Amino acid sequence: MLKNICAGLVGAALLTGGVSSYVAAEPTDHVPTFADMSVQIKEPTMEEKAAAVAAGQAAVAAQQPKAEPEESTAAQAAPAPAVENKQEKPAPAETEKKSLEKKISINLAARSLALFEGNKKIRLYPIGPGKASTPTPVGYYKIRSKDYNPTWTDPSTGRSIASGPDCPLGYRWMEIQGNYGIHGTNRPNSIGHYVSNGCIRMHEKDVEALFDMVKIGTPVEITYNRVVVEKLDDNTVVYYIYPDGYGWQNLSVEDVNKWLAGYGVANFVSNEDIEAKINASDGEPTYVAKVYPLYVNGEKMKNKAVEQDGVMYLPAIDLADAAHVNLGWDSTTQKLISTLGTAPGVDKKDVLYCKAEDAKTLFKLGGALDNNNYVMKFVPVEKQEPAKVDQDGKIDATQKIDHSADKSEVKNDAKAEVKTESKAEAKVGTKQSKDKKTK
């Protein structure tokens, strides 16, 4: 006897002739609405409701903002002492296989199911999770069984509905834990709403595609995150805020800033815009900026290079420290003043940035994108070359001319002429005196 039961239900499923029978109290006539849509007729007890809500709220409270994978600061500062490890290193083929392993990630707040291959999201589907009174439990699970063409049995009447267009379970069932599973539905208009007693509904074409791509044992992660931040393939950071369907997660501007800070763009979204986004909670994407790790002479900086609206912004304090240059800020003129030069700056939430083209003036640094990193190096001081003269003695008009030497020569020539004239006048004066005495 094989048990495959929808969440919150009782009964056993009989496996006969390769077709599974599921006891799941799916309503057969009622068309679900946003306010009241359920996979089952049987309501859970008050104790079951309280336990599910308490478990979900506790799990959500324990969740932390997920930032981009970074090396542990503590590990960098104080690496663990070397320990003899006799364990063999995994073979390259095993490492590659592990990097391509699939995982299902379900976000109840977003009402979406994502399929990952390694760290890459390869599919995204809308779902119909449990309603607020019987929420889908968050946690870490796995696919425990997979079945084609399940038969549904009404526990209140014992009447069975074979696989087909009238079966509330659709044509696929994947158990994730006990009474909870991922399955199809004969009510596609319920997808996108909180509708079930805890199971995950999917459009039939979606669940059939997912069924073929995963195997028994595939990990399933279920979370409740109203804030979702992603970095796209082109390095653009985008964030979403979803409504609080379960009433589990109140959001503040500070909360959202923490999520954005993990991706290096918190300073590039105003608090006013974040507050408006929370009030809307529409689940629509907001594209912030492109972000790149920043390196100066091979050393990784704490903050990142951020490209917004076609302008590359660099953290001025980081560059000043790397270049060993003193830096000041004139808030009145919005100018950055270093010991090497002055250039416009930008104050973004009390963090100073300069434009990439001004880094040379302020810090004698130049940079460019290299393999999705912004790499900077010291720029050598340019030495002024003397003006070129062609064979005819003419100055090359394309060369910059330094007239300071010419002015010096003119002054010297003028002094020499004055001195010569003075001597000549003196001689003339002496001769005239002699002539007078002779006369």
The two structure tokens encoding residue 213: 């791509």
Cα separation, 134 vs 136, in Å, equals: 7
Selecting among 183, 193, 203, 354, the annotated active-site residue is: 183
Cα separation, 58 vs 62, in Å, equals: 6
Quote the strand ranges of 4-144, DSSP E: 15-16, 19-23, 102-107, 112-117, 120-128, 139-142
Cα separation, 253 vs 57, in Å, equals: 20
Answer yes or no: 183 catalytic: yes
User: For the CA atoms of the chain, what is the radius of gyration?
Assistant: 37
Q: Could you tell me the CA-to-CA distances from 53 to 129, 135, 184 in Å, in that order?
A: 14, 7, 25
Cα separation, 351 vs 320, in Å, equals: 13
In sequence order, the 6+-apart residues with CB closer than 8 A to the CB of 344 are 334, 335, 336, 354, 355, 358
Residue type, 7: A
214, 216, 217, 219 alpha-carbon torsion, rounded to 10°: 40
Cα separation, 379 vs 365, in Å, equals: 5
Contact of 122 with 133, CB cutoff 8 Å = no
Contact of 325 with 338, CB cutoff 8 Å = yes
The two structure tokens encoding residue 15: 């496996």
Cα separation, 339 vs 325, in Å, equals: 6
Answer yes or no: 199 catalytic: yes
Strands 15-16 and 145-148: unpaired
Task: Tell me which H or E stretch contains 404.
Answer: helix 404-438
Contact of 378 with 322, CB cutoff 8 Å = no
Nearest to 350 by CA among 253, 271, 259: 271
Quote the strand ranges of 14-101, DSSP E: 15-16, 19-23
Per-residue burial over 197-211, b if 16 or more Cβ lie within 10 Å, else e, is bbbbbbbbebbbebb
User: How many Cα atoms occupy the beta-carbon half-sphere of 317 within 13 Å?
Assistant: 8
Selecting among 6, 167, 193, 199, the annotated active-site residue is: 199
In sequence order, the 6+-apart residues with CB closer than 8 A to the CB of 121 are 114, 115
At 165, is the secondary structure helix, strand, or coil? coil
Catalytic machinery residues? 183, 199
